[in-house]
Every structure is written in structure tokens, then in C-alpha cells.
Structure 1
């Protein structure tokens, strides 16, 4: 085990280049995040994930695969999963007329959410993917275009119950989970990929509403991703760079003990700290110092991949200078996200009764 491998990076194409292999072998690399450009078909994906594991078998292979518009692999047999809002709509649908039954929609929705989690996790694992950044715990305020139908519902209680059901399905497939975007991204309109969203509500208001699913799910969540959103009445820095949010509130107050990922360090919301544009290394050090266990750098391996090397070399130099302290606890949290069971091969999965039943339950 390395002393702490906090960097989750990407690779450029559908197979590994010499530079990809070199970066994956770096002692600070802890995992890989895949995108649609890394996909041709299932056989190719399995070859790619096998090649990644051949470099280091402890690397965590991740993907953003939620359903709806955020699903990286959509062809060659992958099930088109519904957006999470479809499950929230199902929750509200108790039928009409004499056949209506109070609570029937909620029960159908929880079963469908478990089915979605199982199908999602089982299909990814059959192709060698360890982990998906799901579920979205943001509330559907009707304001955020970047969240939109990725959210289950406006009511935090419905979100928590459907998310817990989906995570149960992931667990059945042998996959851990990631609640995002703490403490909530759904209230603000701005997209943190291109802007720095600001949520001016009080801490009391946020904890009572958008952040409510996190303590309710603290015994179920295995990891959390904070939002690149500034909540100025709580801290001047975005949540992913805030000791107040990550250490005081999430860790101590909410008693969360799983892994904390930064969101993508290449996003606009991650690179402006205290009004200044900072480099990838400074952003990573700030995130780790605030309480993140792992930091993501996405879509930077294209071309020469200089930003990836900048972060790998820069964070190593920062460690050697004492600007960043590796954490044995953080490394243990990273390793805990790896699957503990062997995946079921795709051809066997297609005939498994539990999988076929799950497909029937999807909306």
C-alpha cells in the first residue's frame, strides 16, 4: 500500500499510451476517471480496464454514470437508465380514481431505485469499472440547469429514501457509492464548470433543507463529493476547499467517516480561491488541506497532458516540502471504495434472474 495516493486522473483514449502508463504508475495516482471518449464497445472497455489494473491493481476505476443525460456508456447492450427525477415522479404517482392507493407510488419508486442501482453497478462491474459517482443528493429547486433532472425530488426526505434505495442496489452489485454535491448544488443557477456559484442562504437554512440527506444517510454513504459553490454566510471558500464544511460540519457534526472527493480541479469553481486564479497543484493542496481525501483532475490528458504531469510533479514536490501531509486514514478510505467481490461476467449477467427482474422494475 502506498502512503497516500490522492490523485484521480483521466486517460486520453480507448487504450493506454506510454504516457498514460507512466502516469498511472506514479505513487500519487490513486485512480482513473473514464469518459465517453474512452468507450467504443464492451470488449474494448474491458481491455482498457484490464490494462489499467495491470499497471496497479489497487487503482480505483471510476466513471460518472448516473442515468439520464449523465451516462458515459450507452451502446453495445448498456441499459439506458432513467434520470433520477423519473424515480421522484414515480414516488408521487399513487394512481388515479378508485384504483389509487396512498403510498403505492413511493413503494414502487424505492423498488425501482434499487433496481436502477443494481443494473448500473452490475453492468459497469462486468466491464471492469469499480465505482460510479452516484447518487446525486441535490434537491430539485427548479433553478439549476446543471442539476435539473439529475435530482430525485425537491423534498429532502424523498431524496434520502430514493438515494438509500439506489445505494442498496449498488451494494447488491458489489459497488460503493458517492453522494454529491455536498451540502447542495440545486439552489443556485450558475454552473460551477464555468462560473463560481454563490448560495447566500444561512447555515441553518442549508442544514434544514439541502444538506439534510447527508446526516440521514451517514451510515450508508461510502463517499461524498462537495460542491464547487461558495456559501458566504458559512465560509468564503467553496465547500470543497473549506475546513468548516468538510471537517467541522461533515466530519464532526454529521459524523461522516467515508472518503471525500474534490470535484474536478479543472472547473472554474475550483481554480479561483480567495479571488485569485490558482494552479492545479495549489488547488489540490488546498482541497487536501481542507479535508478531501482524493482530488480529481478531469479531461487534461488530451494532447500532451501537461496539466496532469504538472499536478503529479507539483503535488510530489509539495509533499517533499511539507506543504501537504499524506494521510494513512485517507488512503484507507480510498482502498475501502474498491470492490470486495468478483464481478459477474456480462454474458452470465444477462441471464441472471435478479438482473432480469431489475430491468422490469425500471421506469
Structure 2
């Protein structure tokens, strides 16, 4: 059995350095996440991905590529995908058309990435868009034509870090559009990742720079924000929890909480896929139980809470010492029995690798399914 390789790391530049190669060969490294700084053009990206796979064919090459403002590759032929809120707006006018558009977005997203050698994108966002004064889609559709529409929850504030990345406010609409988008990803041969469990849309603070706190009850969260995770439990390949504290459930952020990940997500909501931590370098991951933690300590806490994989992003820039410290710290913690290499976690990681061969870019450009999908994207 292959040793559990839970760490997803990044690289600083357009090609692999000697240090990058050493880190990617480490038995605890399971994948790499790419950013805009790793992009010059399609040929460079394709060469980079091929080089990564030559080091280890089982490394999972990931990217945050949702559409809208979170899309790492936007030039040299890559389709500019709309923010997910645009699909929610289309739903208000044409429900079936919106589901077809969502499927088309998923297919184009996955097919273009795979044509360049990328295996996986952290999408779709399942967070709800809590905008002050905005009706839910259900409220809007139920209102008589020309009549008044009751407003959304009083006092709710939209998360600036989520905003138009969300499909909308209504968890039923979010689930239907997300399932359609995931169907398109599946058609392209790519797995999916629902984020940020149980929901990041209600809090205003950005977990990149702060530690958001959501004081609602578990009952309220399960009935609203977390509902898509139960409805999509047969469709989701993976889930990424939020670096948000929900104090009425647990004093720890969700990504470090066994109660959230094992008891609620897996046992109560029926999710059986892989769980990624969010970026361990974010402010929301640097304090656990009121104590400042190292990256290795955060990684161990996440794995022990139920994560299968942990991400450390943007720490390879410069000498990359934080990445080396994390690798060394996790290896030492494993030897000391502070976390356990789980066969189940490794199998869930491997299941995210594409199972079909991707077609090249030129072949994709004339593929009828791809050309049809392009015409459906709003």
C-alpha cells in the first residue's frame, strides 16, 4: 500500500527548481496547487504539468479555477468563465437554461484544464450569498408578478471573500446549479470539491486575514448553509471546510474539528469522499484553541480532525523554508505517533486523479461537445 501522502504544496515559478523536485519526491507530498504566477501560456503550463508527472505520476495537480475573479488562467485561449452568481441570475429568468449553462461551464472548465495537464480544480463554491436586502431565489419566484418580494434575513451581511463566487442565496438553487456544474466536470473527466463547509457566506471577515466567527446555532446552519452538502452527498468527490469558528458547535474552526468533519459531515450528512483542509497559511488556521501553531502543528490537527489532505500555499516563494519545515515536522510527528497515515485517506486522494485520458488542446478545440458547450456559457 502506498504511504499516505496528505500534503498539497506549491512552487514559486514557471518551472521546477531543484528544491521543487526534492519536495515533490517527498513521500508525504500528494500534490501541487498552481497559481497565476505559475502561468505564462498554455505550452509552458503543459510542459510544467508533464514535468511534475515525470517526477511522480500519482501527484495530484490542482488549481483554484472557479470562474469570475477566481480563475488562474485567462489568456492564450482559456475561456473567461462567468462568476457563479451569473448562473444564479440566469436561474431567475430560465431555470433549465441555467442548469445547462452550469453544465457547460463545468465541462469547459475541466476540459481546458485537463488539455494542459491539470488534474483537479477546487470548485464549486457551495457557500450562500447573504446579501443585505436581497430576496432568496425561492422568494422571488414565489412572488406575484409585479408584487413586492420580502427581503432576505435581516442583519445578514455578505462575505466579501465569497460574494459573487456563490451561485445565490437559496440552498436549493445552489445545490441544483452546483450539481449541474459537477456533471460538466464529470463529462470532462474531472472530480470536484465543494467548499467551504459548513458555510462561509454568512460571516463578513475574510479567513485569509482574520478568524471569522459565526454565532448561529447548529440547527440554523444545517437547515441553510450546510444543506447542499447533504443533498449532494452522492455527487461530491471532495469537500473543503471553512476556517470559520462556529462557537455553538465547537471552539475550533471547522477544518480542525472532528465534530464537524467526522460526526456532522461524514456521519450525519453522509459524505464519503475526500476532505481537504483550506490553506494552512491563512490567518484562520494559525490559532487553534487560542494558541498560535506552526504549519506542522496545524497540519497534524487537521489530519487528526478528519482531513485527508492539507494545503500549504504561497510558502515556496523565496527560499521555501516553511515548506521544508512542514515536511520535516510532519515526518517527525508521524514517527512520534502524533498522526496516523490512513490507507482510507490515501485511497480517497488517489480517487481524485482523472481516470480517462485527456485530449490535447487542438483536438479539444474542434470537439463538437466542447463547441456546443461554449455556446451555452452566459
TM range (shorter): over 0.9
Q: CA deviation at 1:2?
A: 2.4
After TM superposition, list the pairs within 5 Å mapping 1:246-265 onto structure 2: 246-265=261-280
State the Cα deviation string for residues 27-52 of structure 1 (Å, max 9, x = none): 00000000000000000000000000
After TM superposition, list the pairs within 5 Å mapping 1:180-329 onto structure 2: 180-329=195-344
Number of residue-to-residue matches in the alignment? 352
TM-score of the pair, normalised by structure 1:
0.97
Partner of 1:74 in structure 2?
A: 74
Partner of 1:50 in structure 2?
A: 50
Partner of 1:101 in structure 2?
A: none
SS of the equivalent of 2:203 reads coil
Structure 1 moving runs of 4+ over 6 Å: none
Task: Please tell me whether residue 331 in structure 1 is matched to residue 320 in structure 2.
Answer: no
Gaps of 5+ in 2: 132-157
Q: CA deviation at 1:275?
A: 1.1
Task: Please tell me whether residue 129 in structure 1 is matched to residue 118 in structure 2.
Answer: yes
State the Cα deviation string for residues 143-164 of structure 1 (Å, max 9, x = none): 1000000000100000000000
Q: CA deviation at 1:195?
A: 0.1
Q: CA deviation at 1:131?
A: 0.1
Work out the CA distance in 2 between the residues paired with 1:322 and 1:110: 47
Work out the CA distance in 1 between the residues paired with 2:223 and 2:272: 21
Work out the CA distance in 1 between the residues paired with 2:3 and 2:114: 27
SS of the equivalent of 1:361 reads coil
Work out the CA distance in 1 between the residues paired with 2:110 and 2:258: 32
Task: Please tell me whether residue 163 in structure 1 is matched to residue 178 in structure 2.
Answer: yes
Work out the CA distance in 2 between the residues paired with 1:186 and 1:176: 23
Q: CA deviation at 1:276?
A: 1.3
State the Cα deviation string for residues 242-289 of structure 1 (Å, max 9, x = none): 000000000100111100000000000001111111100000000000
Partner of 2:127 in structure 1?
A: 138
Work out the CA distance in 2 between the residues paired with 1:259 and 1:89: 31
Work out the CA distance in 2 between the residues paired with 1:82 and 1:361: 12
Work out the CA distance in 2 between the residues paired with 1:215 and 1:31: 27
Q: CA deviation at 1:177?
A: 0.1
TM-score of the pair, normalised by structure 2:
0.93
State the Cα deviation string for residues 93-145 of structure 1 (Å, max 9, x = none): 1xxxxxxxxxxx11000000000000000000000000000000000002100
Work out the CA distance in 2 between the residues paired with 1:106 and 1:240: 34
Partner of 1:119 in structure 2?
A: 108
Partner of 1:30 in structure 2?
A: 30
State the Cα deviation string for residues 173-201 of structure 1 (Å, max 9, x = none): 00000000000000000000000000000
Q: CA deviation at 1:324?
A: 0.8
Task: Please tell me whether residue 60 in structure 1 is matched to residue 60 in structure 2.
Answer: yes
After TM superposition, list the pairs within 5 Å mapping 1:92-107 onto structure 2: 92-93=92-93, 105-107=94-96
SS of the equivalent of 2:357 reads coil
Work out the CA distance in 1 between the residues paired with 2:372 and 2:74: 20
Work out the CA distance in 1 between the residues paired with 2:358 and 2:66: 19
Partner of 2:17 in structure 1?
A: 17
